[in-house]
Every structure is written in structure tokens, then in C-alpha cells.
């Protein structure tokens, strides 16, 4: 089975979500998919679909590099279920908590440190790293 066939549902979903700059290339037994999702929800949906097609990414035949549209200075909404979002000194769950952002609070993106951690600033001036999964561009 060709890799584009195996991951057809994921590729179709990316197209339906209008992932910007979507690029799909197959090379040396690996399917490379990249682009920019419009929201954290779209990003999470693509990763969930990947896990459904290839549980625990066991096949090792897909390299997915999907970014989330948000530039420094962008307004982000805290999308935790109900709790506050910890803001940490460094991009790690082991780092000291330097502040909190409330559920649904709007914060400012300082920088995308990596796919998992973004540096943010609250309206009260608290600045640090938060888990990107709980931040959604507005």
C-alpha cells in the first residue's frame, strides 16, 4: 500500500481544514507532511487521526510537521477545560511555576519555543512558558 493511500484520511482532513502551505512528499519509504493549521483544535485533530491510523506511531513511516498559525504578538486564548494554566520559568513541567493564566483568559504570544511550549505574557505582565496544547490563536 502506498503511504499516501495509507494516510489518505489524514491528508483529506488537512485539505478540508485548509492547512496552509500543505506539502506532501514521499521519499525513502517515509511520507513527509507539513503545513500550518489555523487552530490548536485542527492541529490536535490531525495528530489524533494520525494516532488512529497508526497507533503509537509504530510504523515510523510518517513525518508530520504541522505548525499552528500564530506569530509573536498574537492574542491567544487559554483553552484548558476549567483550570488555570501554569506559566513556568522554563519550557518543562519540572520548571518552577512563575504565574497562572485563567481558563479562557487572553494572553500574548512572545515566541513559539517549540511545538510543545510557547512563551506567553499575561495582561498582568507575568511572562513564561506554557504548554501550547492549551493555547489557541484568536
Q: Which of 20, 39, 68 is the last residue of a domain?
A: 68
Q: DSSP letter string over 20-50?
A: EEEEEEEETTEEEEEEEESSHHHHHHHHHHH
| Per-residue pLDDT in tens (0 to 9) along the chain, 138 residues | 699 999 999 999 999 999 999 999 999 999 999 998 887 778 888 989 999 999 988 888 999 988 887 778 889 999 998 899 999 999 999 999 999 999 999 999 999 888 789 999 999 999 999 999 899 888
pLDDT at 1: 62
Pair (115, 86) in one structural domain: yes
CATH number of 83's domain: 2.30.30.40
Q: DSSP letter string over 76-118?
A: EEE--SSSPEEEESSSSTTSPEEEEE-TT-EEEEEEE-SSSEE
Pair (17, 53) in one structural domain: yes
pLDDT at 22: 95
What range defines the domain where residue 34 resides? 3-68
Q: Which residues of 23-50 are buried (b: 16+ CB within 10 A; e: fewer)?
A: ebeeeeeebebbbbbbbbebbebbbebb
CATH number of 52's domain: 3.30.460.10
Domain count, the chain: 2
Pair (79, 64) in one structural domain: no
- Nearest Cα neighbor of 59 from 10, 11, 3 is 3
Pair (118, 82) in one structural domain: yes
Pair (63, 86) in one structural domain: no
Q: Which of 68, 93, 121 is the last residue of a domain?
A: 68
- Nearest Cα neighbor of 107 from 91, 92, 87, 90 is 87
Amino acid at each position: 500500500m502506498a503511504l499516501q493511500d495509507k494516510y489518505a484520511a489524514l491528508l483529506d482532513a488537512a485539505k478540508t481544514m485548509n492547512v496552509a502551505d500543505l506539502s506532501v512528499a514521499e521519499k525513502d519509504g517515509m511520507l513527509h507532511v507539513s503545513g500550518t493549521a489555523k487552530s490548536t483544535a485542527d492541529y490536535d485533530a490531525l495528530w489524533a487521526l494520525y494516532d488512529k491510523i497508526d497507533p503509537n506511531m509504530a510504523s515510523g513511516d510518517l513525518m508530520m510537521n504541522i505548525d499552528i498559525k500564530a506569530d509573536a504578538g498574537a492574542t491567544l486564548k487559554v483553552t484548558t477545560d476549567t483550570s488555570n494554566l501554569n506559566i513556568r520559568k522554563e519550557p518543562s513541567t519540572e520548571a518552577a511555576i512563575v504565574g497562572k493564566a485563567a481558563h479562557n483568559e487572553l494572553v500574548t504570544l512572545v515566541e513559539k519555543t517549540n511545538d510543545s511550549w510557547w512563551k506567553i505574557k499575561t495582561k498582568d505582565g507575568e511572562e513564561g512558558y506554557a504548554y501550547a496544547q492549551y493555547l489557541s490563536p484568536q
